[in-house]
Chain A
């Protein structure tokens, strides 16, 4: 499985855009990139998944360059409630990527007033 590297922590203020970058140099051809969010004392929650270029949903955007060796999760206009740990995962294929999730340590995002 491809290893992911992301910052341990990030700080932001309400209303700002936050970009969290994840490195996955050994990503395989069939791998998809998935981001999860976890609040304290809760289980992780799926945010977004992509294979290449850009994916956008109602919560976030995911930017993936052509070489796919990194990806950036973009959270527009964060609020205090976006304070959480964000995990970047790389899985072998859209379906198999769901099957057995491999989490790293994640990025702790702290949003201040």
Chain B
């Protein structure tokens, strides 16, 4: 079992650009959640996808959007990047919405 995988591992963008991060859930998992982890902080919940719909959302602006595909993989899109968006973006998957979440290794985004 490959576990949760994320791509790319690292990414460098400039302010104002747009970025797309990808996540493949653990085999058999149908729910994907995204978290943002700034340096020295704990992960902060962005949103959760289940059955291709956004089920819950944290306190993040509309610049952050996502998508879930029929195969349960997911994308996180961030528009109009700000310097403050620099962080480790973590994807977590679970078997339905109320079960233990398994995290991927994350994508390190740097905004210059």
What residues of chain A have their CB less than 8 Å away from a CB belonging to chain B?
Answer: 41-46, 87, 95-96, 98-106
B43–A101 touching, CB < 8 Å: yes
Minimum CB distance partner of A100 in chain B: B45
Find out whether the CB atom of A43 lies under 8 angstroms from the CB atom of B41.
Answer: no
Pick 22 A–B contacts, CB within 8 A, sort by A: A41-B88, A42-B106, A43-B90, A43-B104, A44-B90, A45-B103, A46-B101, A98-B98, A98-B100, A99-B48, A99-B97, A99-B98, A100-B33, A100-B45, A100-B56, A101-B101, A102-B45, A103-B35, A103-B42, A103-B43, A104-B42, A105-B41
In contact, B4 and A43 (Cβ under 8 angstroms):
yes
Restricting to B69-84, which residues have a CB under 8 Å from any CB of A?
none
In the complex, are the beta carbons of A101 and B45 less than 8 A apart? yes
Say whether B98 contacts A43, CB under 8 Å. no
Complex Cα–Cα for A42 and B9 (A) = 11
Residue of A44, A95, A105 touching B98 (CB-CB under 8 A): A95
- Nearest CB on B from A7, distance (A): 14
In the bound complex, residues from chain B placing their C-beta under 8 Å from that of A106 are 42
Cβ of A100 to closest chain B Cβ, rounded Å: 5
Complex contacts, A102 vs chain B, CB 8 Å: 45
Contacts of B105 in A (CB 8 A): 41-43
Minimum distance in angstroms from A53 CB to a CB of chain B: 21
In the bound complex, do residue B106 and residue A105 qualify as a contact, i.e. CB atoms below 8 Å apart?
A: no
Whole-angstrom distance between the alpha carbons of A65 and B101 in the complex?
26
Residue of A nearest to B106 (CB): A43
Enumerate chain A residues within 8 angstroms of B108, measured Cβ to Cβ.
Answer: 41
